[in-house]
Structure 1
């Protein structure tokens, strides 16, 4: 089971600690930090943290890619800092803002991220319901359909209410005043007046547009609300400002939306919807190729957030989303490429990463683990995925396929497309998106990294697993000159998090000190390893240590060797930093591929590098 607390601690430390963080939000797969000084972030240390896929810098944010478990890690950060926790949207912070485009992308991400899974989940329900009606599995005139349609359609219909909350958090406005404004936009009699002629407000004529599923009006008015509240709070007497401020804001804001913002946004939304429709009607294959080929590139740079509002605008204007259909090709193409890596690679570690990344991409539409962990580093699979996305997206768009709900593209969400457009071209497009990158990856291949375990086995190098849970530090930081200067051999040190030592490989116990503070092991290939728990802890004469093995005993990797009480040892005035060194340096003079940062027992720690003399001795 993943250790979310360890991941959270490692990430927070890697970004420079809580004091270097301005704000933190998360999206479907990433922690999105705004740092005071990005130069203080330790990218290598963060990437070495268990549970982290990679890091990225885009849109004025320092992004840590976690994958599907990001909400759990975010929650754990909330337990050890003032950031994270149960909140999902961060307010706009002071400090460097970056260029206007980056600020816009960051704003959209902060406002829409908390809503994404609710939109996707209810959208998926709506997709399944639409498929059930298409295939005649449910009668749309029944009360059962009435209930199912309401629970799947309500969130997208009342989207302005949700946006009012997240926008208020971002712009530092009063959430409940924002809800009052959004509620007026969706009030039944207002909705019923949509398109009615001869409407006026104190003699000012206006056109009532629909605010159901709308995006632009509520975001703009909440932004204006935030400035109005600051002004009124500064000017009004303290005795009345708490209730007079929302009264004045609502009295001005709602008519302003009805008379000015709503009609203008309605015109803009119509233009955007018509423009999207024109592209997909005139040259649909081109629109599909762009969305299918470059969606994942947009995701990498965080630019996809600029397109999310277009989905809801298109839905509000036309009742369908043409832009979403080709994205299915983009997502499934990258999932297929990583599936090709899974099939072709001989690297055991890479294969173990590719398996869950394939399932995550196909079933949930979460491709970050595939892209950042595998496809991008290997280059060719990512390129093959783009090729499949271009071709598949062009074919799907050529068939006029569209979605009738906002969904996260994946195989589970395919019912959102059923019955909407040319289903034959949909099947052909999806097949192309999946088969092309999969076959290209399997047949043409990629630069398959050598399996470290295989290399070690062939060269007589010895793979050493971590015997402790803790944090790896360089041996030079050990507060004991004999260890720090390498006098007792090369290796690393671990600052333990828990009081248990486990065998780092199959071995013979060659030294089991009665005091329990140290254990010596010999690998079958001859490497001899010393695990020394703490500094000068021999002086404790066995107190707070419990030795579990004896000299001459055979142990397997993962067997318990020693238990010790960290708190008691530290209370006695001793440092528990634990050096782990190869003592027969004549045969194994150096270590390689040493881990860093947080680590758990059983995870790779380093390789003991054998010399030719060692090989000859065998």
Structure 2
């Protein structure tokens, strides 16, 4: 394995990459994967990865990779890998949330109760999302033309006959995307509804052919075949031609998005109905043929005009608001966008933007939504830049990597999702400051009378020239960026507690954190950093205070050469050898040596801390507790086997990660019936996870054991 490959990268590669992951969670010691195909994993290769303690294949295509106490950090690092972000994230569960987790949770909370609404937004999203890269590419070509026009090198507003061939060719490069957008949307929408996407694309393409366009030609108008009436509401001519005796309204469908969305919804019903009635051996021919015969006329005569009117109506309504109260409109858009994007509710606005830039739209091919949207995007990027500055100041390598990638994607790609899901939704302090930046940018645009553009542009540094007036837009987005950046740089994006935890996790304030923990322990003097913890029992069992003329040897910390320390049982029950625990992760000793305890009879199982220390692991599910004892011994108490699947049901948790605990303090109360009814074992492994630091780890009890009775003896090497 290449030495340049990090542990998270090596693990992701070993499980087959993001595309092979169905779901991804972790518990107290291991990464848990559900895969499309677990056969691609080579167990020996996985176990050679630095930091991996073991690999455990599970039933079906589930797989577990044992990490130990660093599992939460490795889980976060895997989810923050560019490959995982590009795939949209696959993680779920406790211990940190991926981009997809945040998005799914927000959607479930906001609109999970209505399946039809949920399906509608997913339909919109999946019809447009695959087109974002080509829309971005086309918008950059337009931005290049705008820059050249600003220096009077070209004139993009000239008639085609007056343009040089080079400029016409460059125009064709970006117009290919926008003109044939209905075909692309139809293709994606058909895939979403699980019908042949080429059938959907072909139906829509019929309205873009030279033959269909010729129906609106001057030749047909001169012959009287096509008649046109001027419509003042949309400031355009409405033309009609009679086909087979029926009136057909002629529209320009280039750039339309509502028409293909409506058409495919109807086509899916027709197509699936034909599949049921047409014999299998002729479906390849007759299902597309009959779909064309039905849907091409229906689209041309009914759905096409209806879709155009819907798009025009929505565009006209928003244009009226923008014309009558531009400052209100310019503030509303950037203020609501930070909430629409996480919920997936921004797609209707994206559809309106595309409808507005269509040549025959009531807005004259100009969109007025993207300008205010730019204020939100740059406020978002300003917040990310401030987080990057903080991460550099705090030497927080993980956050620095996340913020750097997100800021680059934002400023040069106009993509807000890496910032939003990777940073902003994780820290509650960011949103209020970011919203102030949104408001400032919107107010500036509103006071200036609004900003428009003639293309669908990702609001990045590279596309500033496509907005008109460019200077007003540039000032507005700079103000939005600067406001968010200043506020978060000044006031921070984390609480004091969150920052302290992050710095400690990064090893930046390890000594300070240790001193703070010692100072917080009421039973120890302030300068007792080198003293043994009072709650740690030793085999010598020396008296706490010896006569002055016969001083007793002080008990040693567990990691001091030759020290012998006993760890007591955290619950009542029957001891079993670790090898008998029905989980290979524990029974093989890969996590550490120790014993299993089958809890004593009773409705409630009470688990307590074996000695004073700090909770390094304490997930919300309540199923596991990793305690770094003051003596230096690291203890893992795993309450039951696979009980992480209960997600906290039946577990009354009394503590949280980072808490100081004392000997005998309750960690959790477990309802036996809830766990057993769910089919999970209550066998509780008690392990010494830093076994490798000791000369021996012995189980010193057998049979029945009560809480606080000696269970495990650890002996440090002599030197």
Question: Within 5 A, what are the aligned runs for 1:169-568?
Answer: 169-194=191-216, 196-197=226-227, 198-238=240-280, 240-316=282-358, 317=361, 318-344=364-390, 346-349=393-396, 350-397=399-446, 398-417=448-467, 420-421=468-469, 423-446=470-493, 447-448=495-496, 449-450=499-500, 451-452=503-504, 453-459=507-513, 477-480=585-588, 484-486=592-594
Return the alpha-carbon distance in structure 2 between the equivalents of residues 266 and 369 of structure 1: 34
Conserved? CA contact 2:340–2:346, under 8 Å: yes
Say if 1:459 and 1:225 are closer, same or farther in 2 by CA, change over 3 A.
closer
Once the two structures are TM-superposed, the CA of residue 201 in structure 1 deviates from its matched residue by 2.2
Deviations 1:539-573 (A, max 9, x none): xxxxxxxxxxxxxxxxxxxxxxxxxxxxxxxxxxx
1:565 matched to which residue of 2? Answer: none
Once the two structures are TM-superposed, the CA of residue 431 in structure 1 deviates from its matched residue by 2.3
Q: Which has the higher contact order (CA 8 A, sep 6+)?
A: 1
Segment of structure 1 superposing worse, 372-381 or 387-396: 372-381
2:34 matched to which residue of 1? Answer: 17
Deviations 1:37-81 (A, max 9, x none): xxxxxxx9799253424xxxxxxxxxxxx7686446889xxxxxx
Report the secondary structure of 2:291's partner residue.
helix
Report the secondary structure of 2:357's partner residue.
helix
Return the alpha-carbon distance in structure 2 between the equivalents of residues 476 and 455 of structure 1: 36
Q: 1:146 aligns with which of 145, 168, 193?
A: 168
Say if 1:9 and 1:323 are closer, same or farther in 2 by CA, change over 3 A.
closer
TM-score w.r.t. length of structure 2: 0.54
Say if 1:478 and 1:124 are closer, same or farther in 2 by CA, change over 3 A.
same
Segment of structure 1 superposing worse, 275-284 or 219-228: 219-228
Say if 1:11 and 1:174 are closer, same or farther in 2 by CA, change over 3 A.
closer
Q: 1:50 aligns with which of 77, 83, 88?
A: 77
Once the two structures are TM-superposed, the CA of residue 388 in structure 1 deviates from its matched residue by 0.6
Report the secondary structure of 1:14's partner residue.
strand
Conserved? CA contact 1:14–1:46, under 8 Å: no
Once the two structures are TM-superposed, the CA of residue 192 in structure 1 deviates from its matched residue by 4.0
Return the alpha-carbon distance in structure 2 between the equivalents of residues 97 and 111 of structure 1: 22
Say if 1:11 and 1:296 are closer, same or farther in 2 by CA, change over 3 A.
farther
Size of the alignment, in residue pairs? 435
RMSD, aligned CA:
3.8
Return the alpha-carbon distance in structure 1 between the equivalents of residues 85 and 590 of structure 2: 42
Conserved? CA contact 2:406–2:419, under 8 Å: yes
Conserved? CA contact 2:127–2:186, under 8 Å: no
Once the two structures are TM-superposed, the CA of residue 352 in structure 1 deviates from its matched residue by 4.6
Unaligned runs of 5+ in 2: 26-32, 38-70, 91-111, 157-162, 218-225, 228-239, 516-582, 596-630, 635-687, 696-715
1:126 aligns with 2:142: yes
Once the two structures are TM-superposed, the CA of residue 239 in structure 1 deviates from its matched residue by 5.2
Deviations 1:487-512 (A, max 9, x none): 8xxxxxxxxxxxxxxxxxxxxxxxxx
1:166 aligns with 2:188: yes
Conserved? CA contact 2:262–2:307, under 8 Å: no
Report the secondary structure of 1:205's partner residue.
strand
Conserved? CA contact 1:293–1:386, under 8 Å: yes
Conserved? CA contact 1:124–1:416, under 8 Å: no
Return the alpha-carbon distance in structure 2 between the equivalents of residues 218 and 411 of structure 1: 32
Return the alpha-carbon distance in structure 2 between the equivalents of residues 69 and 477 of structure 1: 26
Deviations 1:154-211 (A, max 9, x none): 1110111112221221122222322321221101232343494241122111211111
Deviations 1:457-514 (A, max 9, x none): 33569xxxxxxxxxxxxx9933246964548xxxxxxxxxxxxxxxxxxxxxxxxxxx
1:548 matched to which residue of 2? Answer: none
Segment of structure 1 superposing worse, 397-406 or 180-189: 397-406
Say if 1:127 and 1:68 are closer, same or farther in 2 by CA, change over 3 A.
farther
Conserved? CA contact 1:111–1:163, under 8 Å: yes
1:581 aligns with 2:690: yes
